[in-house]
Amino acid sequence: GAGVSQSPRYKVAKRGQDVALRCDPISGHVSLFWYQQALGQGPEFLTYFQNEAQLDKSGLPSDRFFAERPEGSVSTLKIQRTQQEDSAVYLCASSSISVEAFFGQGTRLTVV
Protein backbone atom coordinates (compact mmCIF):
# COMPACT_ATOMS: atom_id res chain seq x y z
CA GLY A 1 0.00 0.00 0.00
CA ALA A 2 0.92 3.64 -0.29
CA GLY A 3 0.79 4.48 3.41
CA VAL A 4 1.71 3.09 6.81
CA SER A 5 -0.61 0.26 7.72
CA GLN A 6 -1.33 -0.87 11.27
CA SER A 7 -3.31 -3.86 12.45
CA PRO A 8 -5.53 -4.53 14.17
CA ARG A 9 -7.33 -1.17 14.29
CA TYR A 10 -8.93 -2.15 17.61
CA LYS A 11 -7.91 -4.69 20.21
CA VAL A 12 -9.63 -5.59 23.45
CA ALA A 13 -7.51 -7.65 25.81
CA LYS A 14 -8.24 -9.10 29.21
CA ARG A 15 -5.84 -8.03 31.90
CA GLY A 16 -2.88 -10.40 31.93
CA GLN A 17 -3.21 -11.32 28.27
CA ASP A 18 -0.34 -10.87 25.79
CA VAL A 19 -0.96 -8.76 22.66
CA ALA A 20 0.94 -8.15 19.41
CA LEU A 21 0.47 -5.03 17.32
CA ARG A 22 1.69 -4.92 13.74
CA CYS A 23 3.07 -2.06 11.66
CA ASP A 24 3.71 -2.18 7.90
CA PRO A 25 5.79 0.90 7.02
CA ILE A 26 5.97 2.57 3.65
CA SER A 27 8.12 0.45 1.35
CA GLY A 28 11.76 1.49 1.46
CA HIS A 29 11.46 3.55 4.63
CA VAL A 30 14.51 2.95 6.77
CA SER A 31 13.30 4.52 10.01
CA LEU A 32 10.38 3.23 12.06
CA PHE A 33 9.00 4.68 15.30
CA TRP A 34 6.41 3.52 17.82
CA TYR A 35 4.45 5.99 19.96
CA GLN A 36 1.90 5.54 22.73
CA GLN A 37 -1.00 8.01 22.94
CA ALA A 38 -3.06 7.94 26.12
CA LEU A 39 -6.58 9.37 26.02
CA GLY A 40 -6.52 13.16 25.78
CA GLN A 41 -2.73 13.31 25.54
CA GLY A 42 -0.11 13.77 22.87
CA PRO A 43 1.81 10.77 21.53
CA GLU A 44 4.85 9.70 23.54
CA PHE A 45 7.89 8.03 22.02
CA LEU A 46 8.40 4.34 22.74
CA THR A 47 11.12 3.01 20.45
CA TYR A 48 13.02 3.58 17.18
CA PHE A 49 14.41 1.25 14.50
CA GLN A 50 16.81 1.97 11.71
CA ASN A 51 16.37 -0.97 9.37
CA GLU A 52 16.42 -4.01 11.68
CA ALA A 53 18.48 -2.36 14.41
CA GLN A 54 16.64 -1.05 17.45
CA LEU A 55 18.66 2.08 18.14
CA ASP A 56 16.56 3.62 20.89
CA LYS A 57 14.17 1.90 23.29
CA SER A 58 14.34 4.49 26.02
CA GLY A 59 10.60 5.17 25.91
CA LEU A 60 9.41 1.62 26.58
CA PRO A 61 7.59 1.93 29.94
CA SER A 62 8.49 -1.50 31.32
CA ASP A 63 10.10 -4.80 30.44
CA ARG A 64 6.64 -6.06 29.48
CA PHE A 65 6.99 -4.05 26.27
CA PHE A 66 9.06 -5.51 23.47
CA ALA A 67 9.44 -4.47 19.82
CA GLU A 68 11.11 -6.11 16.86
CA ARG A 69 11.71 -5.52 13.18
CA PRO A 70 13.64 -8.64 12.14
CA GLU A 71 13.91 -8.01 8.39
CA GLY A 72 13.97 -4.24 8.44
CA SER A 73 10.42 -3.90 7.19
CA VAL A 74 7.36 -4.99 9.23
CA SER A 75 7.55 -4.29 12.93
CA THR A 76 5.68 -5.84 15.85
CA LEU A 77 5.12 -4.27 19.24
CA LYS A 78 4.40 -6.91 21.87
CA ILE A 79 2.98 -6.23 25.30
CA GLN A 80 3.08 -9.05 27.80
CA ARG A 81 0.72 -9.46 30.76
CA THR A 82 -1.30 -6.38 29.78
CA GLN A 83 -2.49 -4.04 32.50
CA GLN A 84 -5.19 -1.36 32.50
CA GLU A 85 -2.65 1.44 32.24
CA ASP A 86 -1.55 -0.01 28.87
CA SER A 87 -4.88 1.10 27.37
CA ALA A 88 -3.98 3.66 24.70
CA VAL A 89 -3.63 4.21 20.98
CA TYR A 90 -0.35 2.86 19.63
CA LEU A 91 0.91 4.78 16.62
CA CYS A 92 3.57 3.70 14.18
CA ALA A 93 5.46 6.12 11.91
CA SER A 94 8.03 5.59 9.19
CA SER A 95 10.38 7.86 7.30
CA SER A 96 13.09 7.79 4.67
CA ILE A 97 15.96 10.27 4.50
CA SER A 98 13.67 13.29 4.71
CA VAL A 99 12.54 14.87 7.98
CA GLU A 100 8.88 14.03 7.48
CA ALA A 101 7.45 11.08 9.38
CA PHE A 102 4.36 9.34 7.99
CA PHE A 103 1.93 7.91 10.51
CA GLY A 104 -0.45 4.99 10.43
CA GLN A 105 -3.97 5.14 11.82
CA GLY A 106 -2.94 3.46 15.03
CA THR A 107 -4.21 0.54 17.08
CA ARG A 108 -6.58 1.34 19.93
CA LEU A 109 -5.85 -1.09 22.75
CA THR A 110 -8.37 -1.46 25.55
CA VAL A 111 -7.44 -3.63 28.53
CA VAL A 112 -10.43 -4.82 30.55
Partner 1 sequence: AQTVTQSQPEMSVQEAETVTLSCTYDTSESNYYLFWYKQPPSRQMILVIRQEAYKQQNATENRFSVNFQKAAKSFSLKISDSQLGDTAMYFCAFMKHKASGTDKLIFGTGTRLQVFP
CB of 45 to partner 1, least distance (A): 4
**Ramachandran angles phi, psi of 84, nearest 5°:** -60, -35
> Which member of 17, 31, 73, 87 binds partner 1 (CB under 8 A)?
31
Minimal distance, residue 99 CB to partner 1, in Å = 6
DSSP letters, 15-77, are TT--EEEEEEPPTT--EEEEEEE-TTS--EEEEEEETTEEEE-TT--STTEEEE-TTSS-EEE
**Per-residue interface string for the shown chain with partner 1, residues 88-107, x marking contact by CB under 8 A:** -x-x-x-xxxxxxx-xxxx-
| 51 lies in the binding site for partner 1 (CB under 8 A) | no
Among 25, 36, 48, 86, binds partner 1 (CB under 8 A): 48
Interface with partner 1 (CB under 8 A), residue from 11, 19, 25, 43:
43
Q: Is 30 left (phi over 0), alpha (psi -120 to 50) or beta?
A: alpha
Q: Quick one: 63 or 100, whose CB is closer to partner 1? A: 100
Residues of this chain that interact with partner 1 (CB under 8 A) are 30-31, 33, 35, 40-45, 48, 50, 56, 59, 89, 91, 93, 95-101, 103-106, 108
